[in-house]
Amino acid sequence: MSGIKKKKISPRQKMINLMYLVLMVMLALNVSTDVLNGFSIVEKSLNRTTQNSSRENTNIYSEFESQMKQNPDKVRSWNEKAQYVRQMSDSLFDLADKLKREIVREADGKNGDIENIRNKENLEAATQVMLTDGRGKTLYDAIVSYRSRILQFIEDPEQKEIIQSNLTTEVSQKDKLTGRNWQQAMFESMPVAAATTLLTKLQSDVRYAEGEVLHALIKNIDVKDVRVNELNAYVIPNAQTIVQGDRFSARIIMAAVDTTQQPRIYIGGKEVSLKNGLYEFNCGNTGDFNFAGYMEMTDRSGETLRRNFSQKYTVVAPSATVSADLMNVLYAGYDNPMSVSVPGVANQNIVATMSGGNLTSTGPGKYVARPTKIGEDAVITITSKAYGGSQKMGEFKFRVRRLPDPTAYIAYNDAEGNPVHYVGGRGFSKSILLSVDGIGAAIDDGLLNIPFQVTGFETVFFDNMGNAIPEVSTSDKFTERQKSIFSRLSRGKRFYISRVQATGPDGTTRTLPQSLEVIVN
């Protein structure tokens, strides 16, 4: 294949999503004309990204055309699919471009210039074009159709999810409750600067989806299919590091060999007969080694071709690796994920046992360790059963500790429907406070993610004289008394959730030392 390389999309996608998030936040505010001018920066950045994607896509189309000239029978079906992707991508891209220009002309007059929008703050133009004139429904139908067709070419689940998300026509839960459709949610009373930026983002997403499909299509043909003019000998070992006492395995082959004849293989000056090219021998000593030989083959002219080969390998003493996926400790009464491996030994030939608790296999090389006693070391023993034998590979000790205390939080969903944990230290919406049922607790420090069950807590309010007013709940839910006090809290008031009792997966109940400060806004 040519120099066309599939780039990682995570940084770009994060950038696009961040700009889109900023755009949405700005739309929720009563922004000034100066702030709306900032959309020009986002617009230009999106245009640069789109141009880069378009150039890369054009290069792939050119590669298809080049290969069609060299091998049309092999490439034709893939090229036809690529051209279909180009046609439907250009169609949606051009529709978005046309709608941008219509909105600008509605705001600035028939001579309106998309590159120099005068009335960026105009709230009527997008509504007129996209809703009153019905162009928003046309765009909605085009996106739904394009998304359905383009996803048929994508097999990778992660890429499918990204493209599905980029081209979504779902509306928020709030819009569903108010009966607003997608085009209303996107364009009703939308400033011209924001509406054109939304359409530019759609164009960028179309070029991205088009590129992902093109990369998938071009992988199905050998775009550098040339006649073989070179023969080389190769040694392909199953492993270059071998445990002492185990066997070395390697495939010795000649690349592009004539299928009507097999090469002659010589090792140590003697010809060897190999079944399916598999060469094996026992490794009795440790250290670095090398074996060499040559291969001979007769070409169609009768000339003997000879290619030398050599292969380095290392034999090591028995060893094993056991690592805790979380940290260098194990937590009592908790399922600690573990990884176990032995260099040169397949996972199915490894046996792991544990003292001071239970060790359960969850998959190849993966285990769950559940120690029973705090303060006593847990010992994991590794044994290899490769090639019919049984050999102890090592013992590994881990300290056993109690699970740390969790953090109390109030759970709710943001405007996008994403779950959020409020842990205090900033303003908290009174409307959200009145809508939630209670509190939760969990260890969520970026390393552990362990939920606890709250069994009780206390809220502490302060009256105008500064007197503390405690209210107790005997579950994880706010009491009616507590909710009643919430409803009377004014902006800027604060209260504390303290003495939280929570039971962890280890079965122990603890009272959390920290209080959760809630500032009402």
List the one residue out of 49, 151, 135, 46 whose CA is nearest residue 99.
135
Mean pLDDT (the chain, rounded): 84
pLDDT at 227 over 50: no
Give pLDDT, residue 448. Answer: 76
Give pLDDT, residue 255. Answer: 62
511-520: average pLDDT: 94
How far apart CA 372 and CA 515 sit, in angstroms, is 30
Lowest mean pLDDT among 274-278, 435-439, 516-520: 274-278
How far is CA 486 from its chain centroid?
A: 40
Give pLDDT, residue 229. Answer: 45
pLDDT at 67 over 60: yes
How far apart CA 456 and CA 459 sit, in angstroms, is 10
Contact 478, 489 (CB under 8 A): no
Give pLDDT, residue 228. Answer: 45
221-250: average pLDDT: 60
The pLDDT tens digits of the residues spanning 114-165 come to 888 899 889 999 999 999 999 999 999 999 999 999 999 988 889 899 999 9
How far is CA 100 from its chain centroid?
A: 32
Give pLDDT, residue 18. Answer: 57
The pLDDT tens digits of the residues spanning 279-320 come to 888 887 777 788 899 988 775 446 787 889 888 776 766 666
DSSP label of 349: G
- What is the fold of 321-401? Immunoglobulin-like (2.60.40)
How far apart CA 232 and CA 223 sit, in angstroms, is 22
**Three-state DSSP string of 262-327:** CCEEEECCEEECCHHHEEEEECCCCEEEEEEEEEEEECCCCCEEEEEEEEEEEEECCCCEEEECCC
Q: Based on the number of CB atoms within 10 Å of its own CB, is 308 exposed (0-12), middle (13-18) or buried (19 or more)? A: exposed
Ordered by start, the domain boundaries in the chain are: 10-218, 233-316, 321-401, 407-520
Give pLDDT, residue 425. Answer: 81
**Which amino acid type is present at position 321?**
T
Contact 403, 450 (CB under 8 A): yes
How far apart CA 339 and CA 316 sit, in angstroms, is 21
- What is the fold of 233-316? Immunoglobulin-like (2.60.40)
The pLDDT tens digits of the residues spanning 465-501 come to 889 999 999 999 999 999 999 999 999 999 999 999 9
Highest mean pLDDT among 169-173, 237-241, 474-478, 506-510: 474-478
**Backbone φ, ψ for residue 30 (5° rounding):** -90, 80
Give pLDDT, residue 478. Answer: 97
pLDDT at 376 over 50: yes
pLDDT band at 390 (very low <50, low <70, confident <90, very high): confident
List the one residue out of 183, 199, 167 whose CA is nearest residue 127.
183
How far apart CA 252 and CA 296 sit, in angstroms, is 12
DSSP label of 477: B
pLDDT at 30 over 50: no
The pLDDT tens digits of the residues spanning 402-449 come to 999 999 999 999 989 999 999 998 899 999 999 999 999 999 876 778
Q: Where are the beta strands (DSSP E) in 364-446?
A: 366-371, 378-384, 391-401, 407-413, 419-422, 427-428, 440-444
How far apart CA 280 and CA 282 sit, in angstroms, is 7
